[in-house]
Structure 1
């Protein structure tokens, strides 16, 4: 991961030692590189240069206000999936007029809030949602901007939990039903048809499925044009993967090239919804070893981070590289585990580490789906978050206090 490198024998984030961050802010702590965020964004901007387009950062991947603000300053839009994420985007100083609202279960209250703020578009994911949105817009006396999220039944060749474009998935409407539903939408005066949306999955390493989905979206757009329905944009989602281990990850421009070729000659604005590829390798989870425990079959490095801090290994059996902040002695093989009372609480298995008790380790590629998927299981306070910008380290989220976790609870009389 660029911007996280050894200097004088110690792992740094840009110009700041991770040892310094641990001393100042404790552990576990998520540490992000602003330069990494900026460079990942620049790769998309370069690949889309000369084309009418809007990047809509997928807030679910990392919703810290400072990170949202960095992207807002760079001119991105935002892809949200809840009213809470919309509130975060607004609190970060972003323009609601550059927000697309996805998700299969939008409530009336969420719709009202989004309409009141004037968001760019709703990505509608079912026929009942279409009618509910028309009803809500009608009560407010406004027109709701919409795109139908279509499900193209394309295999994204990724983990089944993060596949979203097959006909067995809960997301979107079948592409075979889309033309009929667009006609329905056109007959509802409370709705303003803006585009088509499609997203087939996450951690994609092969551009071919995305290009296939784009081809199907273009065919639908042409059919809608024949029906007299003009579209302002085509939203092809996100999904570009990152390197966690030894994956061969295409450059952003190479990944987008087949998609852009499928859209050649189209006049509609292109929307993309990257998340993981913008933030995943811009962050590490910094943790301290509490104990080195020797077992009959294996050794354990018990750290102060756990599955409640980084759920991906337990949830997906996902791999995250783990490295010493300052290597000590001869490497031995450890299962790196946390203190949570679950056998599934592991961060990595069979890792060679040159460490001693109380040393620091960094868990890489933790910028996406780390803090946003964290929990308070075992009444554990969630980690702090720090953003490094050159030689400066900024606390962007305080560590939670245990007493705050139950401050809203009440005893029985």
Structure 2
């Protein structure tokens, strides 16, 4: 029986496996909490995008740039680089990380509203593919930095089409109230300005409307507005060589949820772009890694109460912030199922000293102290958003590759958490 999201995590005789490895074996090797990823799932998710793009005439000249912020582990970045992916970064740190993982700088696009001069210089010296510029002030700064280095900076403007993606407000980025991008009605004048600046080279148009989108129609609506801008730029002799259509395609977090296929997302966009002769760049993040990972944790105590029953686990909000931050849902499943066992309804909570420290609420589980649980769909924005709150070392990370397990990040020690700090002098 498969779990939510991917066939790469499945039950065999009531025991949950990652590919060919039982999760209990991973716990024995690495302890808990531990993030567990499936190499096969990661590869299949990227290849789904590449396959659909390659099968369509408009997708022949395309590049899938993985959104590094979703999960920045070097092993995952290296795997995607080996498979031909580019990368969408939002900081100088992410640039250094992808280059360390073996990325081709010529396949890197740099997004983000607050690029510093140092980050711009770093990216120009590395030779990245394009800067996704998000304001008039950024245009001016980038031109000055490129002038100082004697270079031309390749740019696209991230345009804000004011399209409602119908997702959580914290991850909606294409509305006029968002901090991201420039209003699409202002973009034409900014492109004319960029074309006149001597150390900028206009290359494309960038548009990203949000994350965890389950209805493909907002993508098409945004594309129509982008194409109107493209046509206006053409009449003004400002050539555009690529369209960066962002990412945002959602995943299934609940068993009963629907999940749009990559084909149903891309096909309408590719059909509309046929004959344009443009390079197409996509920036998926969550869709590549979200359901390719889970968080393995152990039950410490069962705490019954009058209003609530609590299953206290050794993972917490510092390990997986999404439930506390977004009230996000993650399926929570027993690693070993005992047929006929009696279930009870629990809030699954961690040891952090916050009422908001929960990974799931009102979950029917058959568990006892010492049992293992799997928090599913945790590959995106799990480890990447984790912290050391309450002086808790961050989780280990493991990659399953068929019948092999690789440690891709060891667990931190408490001493490492304060190694950069100093006591006051006597």
**Partners of 1:330 and 1:354 within 8 A in 2:** yes
Aligned position for 1:165: 174
Q: 1:393 maps to what in 2? A: 405
Cα RMSD between the aligned structures?
Answer: 0.7
Q: C-alpha separation between the residues in 1 aligned to 2:263 and 2:144? A: 42
The residue number in structure 1 matching 2:3 is none
Q: How far does residue 9 in structure 1 lie from its aligned partner after superposition?
A: 2.1
Q: Does 2:32 correspond to 1:27?
A: yes
Alignment length, in residue pairs? 413
Please list, as runs of the form range in 1=range in 2, the aligned pairs for 1:176-195 lying within 5 A after superposition: 176-195=185-204
> How far apart in 1 are the matches of 2:90 and 2:223?
22
**8 Å CA contact retained: 1:233, 1:268:** yes
* Partner residue in 2 for 1:407: 419
The structural deviation recorded for 1:264 is 2.5
Q: Hey, what's the Cα distance between the residues in 1 that align with 2:257 and 2:283?
A: 22
Q: Which of 217, 225, 233 matches 1:216?
A: 225
1:33-44 mapped onto 2 (5 Å cutoff): 33-44=38-49
2:350 counterpart of 1:312: no
Find the partner of 1:353 among 365, 371, 376.
365
Whether 1:103 aligns to 2:112 is: yes
The alpha-carbon deviation at position 261 of structure 1 amounts to 2.4
Residue among 260, 271, 274 paired with 1:261: 271
Q: Deviations over 1:101-152 (max 9, x none)?
A: 0000000000000000000000000000000000000000000000000000
Distance, in Å, in 2 between the alignment partners of 1:257 and 1:174 is 27
User: Whole-Å Cα distance in 2 between the matches of residues 31 and 17 of structure 1?
Assistant: 11
Instruction: Work out which of the residue numbers 379, 385, 388 in structure 2 matches 1:373.
Output: 385
Q: 2: distance between equivalents of 1:247 and 1:239? A: 17
* Separation in 1, partners of 2:289, 2:257: 17
Once the two structures are TM-superposed, the CA of residue 272 in structure 1 deviates from its matched residue by 0.4
Report the secondary structure of 1:153's partner residue: coil
Write the distance in 1 (CA, Å) between the matches of 2:130 and 2:367. 51
Residues of 2 paired with 1:181 and 1:73: CA distance? 37
Cα distance in structure 2, aligned partners of 1:284 and 1:163 = 25
Q: Give, in whole Å, the separation in 2 of the partners of 1:26 and 1:8.
A: 23
Matches of 2:175 and 2:63, distance apart in 1 = 25
**1:284 aligns to 2:294 (yes or no):** yes
Question: Where does residue 296 of structure 1 map in the other structure?
Answer: 306
Q: What CA distance in whole angstroms lies between the structure 2 residues aligned with 1:42 and 1:99?
A: 18
Match in the other structure for 1:247:
257
Q: Conserved in 2, the CA contact under 8 Å of 1:57 and 1:76?
A: yes
Distance 1:24 1:136 in 2: 49
Q: Which residue of 2 aligns with 1:201?
A: 210
Match of 2:97 among 67, 85, 88: 88
**Counterpart residue number, 1:48:** 53
Q: TM-score if structure 2 supplies the norm length?
A: 0.96
1:46 Cα deviation from its structure 2 partner: 1.6
| In structure 1, distance between residues paired with 2:308 and 2:238 | 63
Three-state SS of the structure 2 residue aligned to 1:221 is: helix
Shift of 1:263: 1.6
Unpaired runs of at least 5, structure 2: 1-5
Residues 214 and 263 of structure 1 are in contact (CA less than 8 Å); yes or no, is this contact kept in structure 2?
A: no
Q: 1:134 aligns with which of 117, 132, 143?
A: 143
1:237 is matched with 246
**TM-score, length basis structure 1:** 0.99
SS of 1:142's equivalent in the other structure is coil
Separation in structure 2 between the aligned mates of residue 247 and residue 151 of structure 1, nearest angstrom: 29
Distance 1:364 1:287 in 2: 11
1:7, distance to aligned residue in structure 2 (A): 1.4
CA distance in 1, matches of 2:134, 2:373: 42
- Deviations 1:203-251 (Å, cap 9, x if unpaired)? 0011110001111111111110110011110000000000001321111
DSSP 3-state at the match of 2:390: helix
Displacement of 1:354 in angstroms is: 1.0
Among 334, 342, 346, the alignment partner of 1:330 is 342
Q: Which residue of 2 aligns with 1:11?
A: 16
Give, in angstroms, the shift of residue 47 of structure 1: 1.2
